[in-house]
Structure 1
Amino acid sequence: MNRTIELVKTIYEIKQLEDVDEPQIALAGRSNVGKSSLVNRLAGRKSLAKISSKPGKTRSLNYYRVQPDGYFLVDLPGYGYAKCSKQERLKWAKLIEAYMKDNQRLKAVAVLLDSRLSPQKIDLELTSYVRGLGIPVIPILTKADKPKQRELAKLQKQWQDILQQDRAPVLFSSKTGKGEEKLWDRLGEYAGQ
């Protein structure tokens, strides 16, 4: 299928939040896990989402419309070691919380996890928080072109057990395109396609 992804809205403050009619899937993950690279890979464009060697480049909610599928990917600010003030991080946390709570259009949160790392406390906290809100989690192991196959399989199993899911996390590489079709299928499934 020939899809397009277009940035249609950027939100920095809670008062800018408004109801969007189409289904939404949020993209969440630590700073530098590869969210922008994933968006660019899916869009087939190198510079739709800004990529930086400095973590924490995404400082807003970015709404990307996926056509012709008719849903939004909503890129959330990265968490973790972004170099910014505590006040700024608190502002992001409140914005993300306001976006997620009672959002009937939010069908799932795609949580990006670095495939080179064992489950991290901060990722466990995020997945627990999202599940606590009753929102499905779509685990995606990024940078899957780096580790050995055996390590990937072990990490997939760990996350599958942690999240108590029937299916293993999607293995994805924005560099090689590994897992791209599987990811599109999973996103579409949760978006109700």
Structure 2
Amino acid sequence: MTANVNPIHYNAARFLISADKLSQCPDDSGAEVAFAGRSNAGKSSAINALTNNSKLARTSKTPGRTQLINFFDLNIEGLRLVDLPGYGYAKVPIAMKEHWQKHLDQYLQQRASLKGVVLVMDIRHPMKEFDLMMVEWCQSTHVPLHVLLTKADKLKRGPAQSTVLSLRKELTALLGDKVTIQSFSALKRTGIDTLSARLDEWLSQGCDKYEEESEES
């Protein structure tokens, strides 16, 4: 396969469907990468920066607005990005939070087309309770994890690099070569190339149709 024959264009991403539970998700075929993160980590802003579309994923000054599993098609059939519900500061009833937790767990445990998880953390406040839960889930299921340390523009270069190195050491001890880590700033648009390269690797290796098209070209 020649990966750059049919490149994935993230700026071609378009909304596909929102799902309240696993049974409402698209057919479990092809390949998809899910973005997860606490409600105030900058997940929607990261997706919008990646796709160069400020309106693709909902952003709000009120954290926790993403209450459904949102799917986005890419330019190659069968490839998708997924925006998972945020947790942490959402001012919603406990019953709703429990509902999210149940269906998020089902998605992560049962979704065969899931090829990797991008865990979005605020670089100033990494490894909170939800983050640790996601790391442990990836450890138990062997699903690859890419940690996106957002809002890097809020720190000077030295402290930002120190956080990346420290977290890389910590998580590599747990996940080995199944984890990668980078800094990212949606505001400054830094780190987009590194993120897209990681997604290319996961999506192109996980979708037979992509591989067939590349081989035929």
**Fold shared per TM-score above 0.5:** yes
2:197 equivalent to 1:191: no
Show CA shifts across 1:99-154 (max 9, x none).
11132211111000111124323312221122212211111111111111111111
> How do residues 43-62 of structure 1 correspond to structure 2 at under 5 angstroms?
43-62=51-70
Question: Is the Cα–Cα contact under 8 Å of residues 32 and 115 in structure 2 kept in the other structure?
Answer: yes
Alignment of 1:67-146 (within 5 A): 67-68=75-76, 71-146=79-154
1:49 aligned partner, one-letter code: A
1:172 aligned to which of 161, 173, 184: 184
Structure 1 CA distance, aligned partners of 2:167 and 2:38? 16
Shift in CA distance, 37/118, structure 1 to aligned 2, threshold 3 Å: closer
Distance verdict in 2 for CA 1:25–1:90, change over 3 Å: same
Unaligned runs of 5+ residues in structure 1 are none
Whole-Å separation in 2 of the counterparts to 1:97 and 1:136 = 16
Contact 1:110 1:138 in 2 (8 A): yes
Q: Which stretch of the first structure deviates more once superposed, 83-92 or 110-119?
A: 110-119
Are residues 15 and 69 of structure 1, via their aligned partners in 2, closer, same or farther at CA, if it must alter by over 3 Å?
A: closer
Higher helix share: 2
**Cα offset for 1:69?**
7.9
Q: Corresponding residue for 1:29?
A: 37
Q: How many residues align?
A: 193
Q: CA deviation at 1:79?
A: 1.3
Pair 1:7-2:15 in alignment: yes
| Partners of 1:141 and 1:171 within 8 A in 2 | yes
Determine the C-alpha separation between the residues in 2 that align with 1:32 and 1:134: 26
**Closer, same or farther: CA 97–119 of 1 in aligned 2, 3 Å:** closer
Distance 1:78 1:15, change over 3 A: same
1 CA distance for matches of 2:127 and 2:56? 29
1:118, 1:50 → 2: CA distance?
A: 22
Worse-matched range after superposition: 33-42 or 11-20: 11-20
Per the alignment, residue 182 of structure 1 pairs with 194
- In structure 2, what residue type is equivalent to 1:189? E
**Greater CA deviation, 110-119 or 69-78?**
69-78
Q: Distance in 2 between matches of 1:143 and 1:70?
A: 31
